[in-house]
Every structure is written in structure tokens, then in C-alpha cells.
């Protein structure tokens, strides 16, 4: 039977926080500029530098808060672009955007009726122009 190591989750969390703190202390503005992605520090690059999983940046509250403070400081110094917070409310929720089969059928039937009406109108106009064309041909004024 394997012997459990003496490291629990809290100890690992503390180790990750200490590693992040040391990494952040040694981070220069140029280093930060080189790992910017999407207006923030590249999480993958940070994890590679710390030799940890990406979940550490999202689940360890001390690391998460420190990262947010680091990025805020970099933004105030102009290293990172300003954070854009969107107040836009989506027009419809994703679930509402999924049209049911019945709604889709109604939409297609309405479109079909509209196209049929346009086709009938165009056929009437075509018959009128064919009549004009025949008249012009009969009177000799049709230029071919």
C-alpha cells in the first residue's frame, strides 16, 4: 500500500501562491508585453512559467486575486490595454434563439406564400411585356 504524502490541498495552494508571487515580482514590463494575449496576460504562458495547471489561476483564490491585481497594475502603467466591459444585453438568450420545428415551419410557409405572390405578379408582368413585344413585332417597330 502506498504511503500518502504529507502535502494536502492547502499546502499545495500555498506553494502555488508563493511560486506565483515570486514569478510576479520578477516580471518586467517587457516580459509582460511579450505574453499579452487578448488584452490580458496569457494564462498558458503563466502556467508554463509556474509549472502548474491552468486551474490554479482560476480556483486558487489568492492566486486569482493576485493575478487580477497584477493585471490592474499593468493596465495603469499602460503595459496592458484598458479593460473593456460590455454592458450590452444580448437580444435573445441562446435557448430562445433555437427555433422549434413548428416555428420554423410557420416561417417557411410565410416565406413560401410571399414568394408565390411575387411569382404571380412577375408572370402577369411577363405576359404584358410579351403582348407589347408581339405588338411591336407586328407593326414593324421592333428592332432586332
Tens digits of per-residue pLDDT, 45-64?
999 988 999 998 889 999 99
Tens digits of per-residue pLDDT, 91-137?
555 555 567 888 888 889 999 999 999 999 999 999 999 999 999 98
* Sole residue written with cell 454592458: 87
Would you say 80 and 74 are in contact if contact means Cβ atoms under 8 Å apart?
A: yes
How far apart CA 22 and CA 26 sit, in angstroms, is 6
Would you say 76 and 29 are in contact if contact means Cβ atoms under 8 Å apart?
A: no
Tens digits of per-residue pLDDT, 2-19?
555 567 888 888 999 999
Mean pLDDT of the chain: 84
Parse the chain into domains and list their residue ranges. 12-76, 100-139
pTM over 0.75: no
Closest CA to 82 of 94, 93, 74, 90: 74
Amino acid at each position: 500500500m502506498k504511503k500518502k504524502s504529507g502535502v494536502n490541498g492547502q499546502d499545495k495552494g500555498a506553494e502555488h501562491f508563493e511560486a506565483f508571487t515570486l514569478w510576479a515580482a520578477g516580471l518586467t514590463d517587457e516580459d509582460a508585453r511579450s505574453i499579452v494575449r487578448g488584452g490580458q496576460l496569457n494564462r498558458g504562458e503563466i502556467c508554463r512559467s509556474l509549472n502548474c495547471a491552468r486551474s490554479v489561476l482560476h480556483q486558487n483564490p489568492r492566486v486569482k486575486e493576485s493575478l487580477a491585481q497584477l493585471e490592474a497594475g499593468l493596465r495603469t502603467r499602460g503595459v496592458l490595454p484598458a479593460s473593456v466591459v460590455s454592458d450590452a444585453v444580448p437580444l435573445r438568450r441562446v435557448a430562445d434563439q433555437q427555433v422549434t420545428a413548428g416555428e420554423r415551419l410557420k416561417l417557411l410557409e410565410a416565406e413560401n406564400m410571399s414568394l408565390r405572390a411575387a411569382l404571380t405578379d412577375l408572370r402577369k408582368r411577363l405576359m404584358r411585356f410579351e403582348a407589347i413585344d408581339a405588338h411591336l413585332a407586328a407593326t414593324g417597330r421592333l428592332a432586332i
